[in-house]
Amino acid sequence: MSNILPAVLTVAGSDSGGGAGIQADLRTFNALKVYGCSVITAVTSQNPDEVRRVDVLPEEAVKTQLETVLDLFPVRFAKTGMLANEKIIACTAFLAEKYNLQLIVDPVMVSTSGARLLEESAVSAMRKLLFPRASWITPNIPEAELLCGKKLSTPSDLAGVALELHEKFKCNVILKSGHLTCVDRMADIVCCEGKLYSLSSPVAVIRGNSSHGTGCTLSAAIAALLATGKSWQESLTEAKAFVYGSLLESRPLNGTLFQMYPPEKQYLEQINLEEL
Ligand code: PXL
């Protein structure tokens, strides 16, 4: 039994450009040596510059994918990405409870190129049904601003909001710092069981659109690492190192197009997790 491969699930949208969504999640699961199951919520027609079309699957199609996977595969950890609407959120939350999943929720709302990936009316379903059922939520700054109704402009604004989200939704929080500029290190704020931490990496120079998919990759990596039995501290640190390494080792697909890609090297020594 010692060679058991953990099965991990992503519930997310397809990104035809392959940089984010289901494609980023499965690439991350493979690189971190877990078995990936995937429930697709929507098919986006996109490249890193634009989203041309979004086709959301019927709720029944999402529900049946979830049940078909969870009836057979021993999935304990799942991540959610683009959930598109209230019905898909409700069904995912209900089945996560029924199958006792530990959820890492990336509250995907808008793509970097500006397309809405979650209906406005679905934000309240996310708050009411999904966050209280999550082990971790991983908002970026624009998502946290929308969830707490205030503007976040400095690193010191982040800690208060991470604590506020933790108390409001009774789940652990990683507030991602990716949208901050002019900082020495990229310091995400973690709130776990009421305590605040800083989780930081050096600033990676972003080549072209290579940061497309960082959020998806982080939450997928956390789910994969927790599923291999690592502690939350190890999982978050290794996941941050994986994203940092993926950006540093982003690869050109031609002269102008860069994609982040699972790193060859280890970057753990450059990540710092400390209590605030
Ligand atoms: O990075 C957020 C995200 C999640 N899921 C899908 C996406 C994107 C961003 O573009 O396309 C399918």
Which one is predicted more confidently, 118 or 80? 80
Q: How far apart are CA 25 and CA 143, in angstroms?
A: 20
Please tell me the predicted confidence (pLDDT) of residue 1. 60
In short, whether 220's Cβ falls inside 6 Å of ligand 1 is no
32-53 pLDDT, tens digit per residue, is: 999 999 999 999 999 988 999 9
- Please tell me whether residue 125 adopts helix, strand or coil conformation: helix
- Please tell me whether residue 159 adopts helix, strand or coil conformation: helix
Confidence of residue 124 (pLDDT cuts 50, 70, 90): very high
250-264 pLDDT, tens digit per residue, is: 999 998 999 999 999
Phi, psi angles (nearest 5°) of residue 43:
-115, 115
- 119 pLDDT above the threshold of 90: no
Which one is predicted more confidently, 48 or 63? 63
In short, whether 245's Cβ falls inside 6 Å of ligand 1 is no
Question: Quick count: other Cβ atoms within 10 Å of Cβ 22?
Answer: 26
- 57 pLDDT above the threshold of 70: yes
Please tell me the predicted confidence (pLDDT) of residue 183. 81
Angle made by CA atoms 178, 184, 189, in degrees to the nearest 5: 45
* 58 alpha carbon – ligand 1 mean position (Å): 19
Note whether 189 and 179 are within 8 A (CB).
Answer: no
Please tell me the predicted confidence (pLDDT) of residue 270. 97
* 42 alpha carbon – ligand 1 mean position (Å): 10
Is residue 120 packed enough to be buried (19+ CB in 10 Å), middle (13-18) or exposed (0-12)?
exposed
Tokens at residue 113, please?
A: 């190129």
162-221 pLDDT, tens digit per residue, is: 999 999 999 999 999 987 777 889 999 999 999 999 999 999 988 888 888 999 999 999
133-178 pLDDT, tens digit per residue, is: 999 999 999 999 999 998 988 878 899 999 999 999 999 999 999 8
Which residues, at least 6 apart from 29, have a Cβ–Cβ distance to it below 8 Å? 8, 10, 35, 36, 220, 224
Note whether 267 and 240 are within 8 A (CB).
Answer: no
Question: Quick count: other Cβ atoms within 10 Å of Cβ 272?
Answer: 15
Average pLDDT across the chain, whole number: 94
* 155 alpha carbon – ligand 1 mean position (Å): 25
In short, whether 118's Cβ falls inside 6 Å of ligand 1 is no
Q: Is the dihedral of CA 121, 190, 153, 12 positive or negative?
A: negative
Confidence of residue 111 (pLDDT cuts 50, 70, 90): confident
In short, whether 13's Cβ falls inside 6 Å of ligand 1 is yes
Locate the DSSP E strands across 100-157: 102-105, 136-137
- 22 pLDDT above the threshold of 90: yes
Please tell me the predicted confidence (pLDDT) of residue 156. 83
Note whether 274 and 197 are within 8 A (CB).
Answer: yes
Which one is predicted more confidently, 152 or 111? 152
Average of per-residue pLDDT across 113-120? 82
Q: Is the pTM of this model over 0.95?
A: yes
* 18 alpha carbon – ligand 1 mean position (Å): 10
Strands 195-202 and 272-275 come out as antiparallel
CA atoms within 13 A on the CB side of 138: 24
- Please tell me whether residue 56 adopts helix, strand or coil conformation: strand
The percentage of residues in the chain with a pLDDT greater than 70, rounded to a whole number, is: 100
In short, whether 19's Cβ falls inside 6 Å of ligand 1 is no
Which residue's CA is the closest to the ligand 1 atom numbered 1? Answer: 213
Note whether 141 and 149 are within 8 A (CB).
Answer: no
